[in-house]
Amino acid sequence: MKKLSLLGSTGSIGTQTMDVVRMLKDKGENSIELCGIAAHSNVKLLEEQIREFKPQYAAVFDLNAAKDLKERVKDTNVKVLCGKEGLCEVASLEESDVVLNSVTGMVGLFPTIAALSAGKPLALANKESMVTGGAIACRIAREKNVPILPVDSEHSAIFQCMQGTHKKEQIKKLILTASGGPFFGKSLDELKAVTPEMALKHPNWNMGARVTIDSATMFNKGLEIMEAKWLFDTELDNIDVVVHRESIIHSLIEYCDNSVIAQLGVPDMRIPIQYALTYPNRFESPVKELNLTDYMQLTFYKADEKTFKCLASCKEALRRGGLAPAAINGADEEAVKLFLNKKISFTDIGEIVTEAMNNQPDTDNITVEGIIEADRNAREFVIAAAEKI
């Protein structure tokens, strides 16, 4: 049996991971037992998860919520931890065989570093770890000789398409697909009137609030380009984005002979979650079969980087390197909050995050302290800029 530490257990990826764990029951050495879980503050769901899966450790990021949880589960044997330290402790438990990090935001970098430093294989759903600290995380993974297994659907698709590839030089291009989100085809003028309610309705995927807004602005695809650079050790020029409205092809690889390999499936995160946990094996999953004739046709378009400025600016951040990706990510985390609270408009997000990225000085020296500072400066920049609007 594999012992799993699951970070972000009450979120969208976390609850779908629980589904996968239920499905993998009775699969012998591929069965999964939860030894630790961590979440931000949803104690009601954490309590249910503790009673069902009986982990030895549960970390709650929010201190008051941790006190509440302690009270609720005092009849069980679980040890309740709290704060960032608790999160990192669950990420590096002696007994865990694998860590799944599905924390939202740059804060996920800390448990990523903790898990890899402890020599734990990491199933990664927290893109911000790679975007902000890919240089550091990949170096630790190399030193400790532990794999980082992608959970993001596009990166899982690329990883799946790579199986059997023996020479990296034979890969010409990674092609990330993008759904285009709810506002595909809209003009900049039309986007000005977009409300949080409109942006929170994604046509294909069911996800948390930040990633749903990021999908609507296409910032999410920008994050995924930066993530791909580190996960697959490639450069911006070798990463393409194509809008594919149906979200059936999850990404593709073009090889040097122009043969293109794609991974397909119905849009359901439980496939990439399960593959990361059972790799290199495959098992039955709770996901529906793909019936191609249900779709009749699959469509493809060029991404509109003029209208969806976030995508162009994320590419620019990757081109600049250093702390520019950390700055643009921190700026976006803050800008999305302001948009959801109706303090800024939908189109302000692209403008503000670009300015915040431009405000970040160039450097080659990437340290955790530097990332924290760039993140904080970018957030402050966004809050100040929003006040002037």
Q: Which residues bind Mg ion (CB under 5 A)?
A: 152-154
- Please, what is the minimum distance in Å from the beta carbon of residue 19 to Mg ion? 18
Q: At residue 263, what are phi and psi to the nearest 5 degrees?
A: -115, 130
**Cβ atoms within 10 A of the Cβ of 147, count?**
15
3-state SS assignment for residue 342: coil
| Closest distance of CB 224 from Mg ion, Å | 6
Q: Are 122 and 148 in contact (CB under 8 A)?
A: yes
Tell which residue, 243, 239, 218, 244, has the closest CA to residue 302. 243
How would you classify the pairing of strands 98-101 and 79-82?
Answer: unpaired
For residues 124 and 101, the answer to whether their CB atoms sit within 8 Å is yes
> Is 73 or 123 the residue whose CB approaches Mg ion more closely?
123
Element holding 174 (H helix, E strand): strand 171-178
Q: What span, in angstroms and rounded, lies between the C-alpha atoms of 359 and 362?
A: 9
**Minimum distance, C-beta of residue 258 to Mg ion, in the bound complex (Å):** 26
- Residue with the closest Cβ to Mg ion? 152
The minimum distance between CB 272 and Mg ion, in angstroms, equals 9
Nearer to Mg ion among residue 68 and residue 152 (C-beta): 152
Which of 46/243 has CB closer to Mg ion?
243
> Helix-strand-coil percent breakdown of the chain, rounded to 5?
50, 15, 35
Closer Cβ to Mg ion, 45 or 262, answer by number: 262
Token pair listed for 216: 């609507």
Query: Which residue, 154 or 333, is less far from Mg ion as judged by CB?
Result: 154
At closest approach, how far in Å is the CB of 162 from Mg ion? Answer: 17
Rounded least distance, CB 152 to Mg ion, Å? 4
Nearer to Mg ion, 153 or 274 (CB): 153
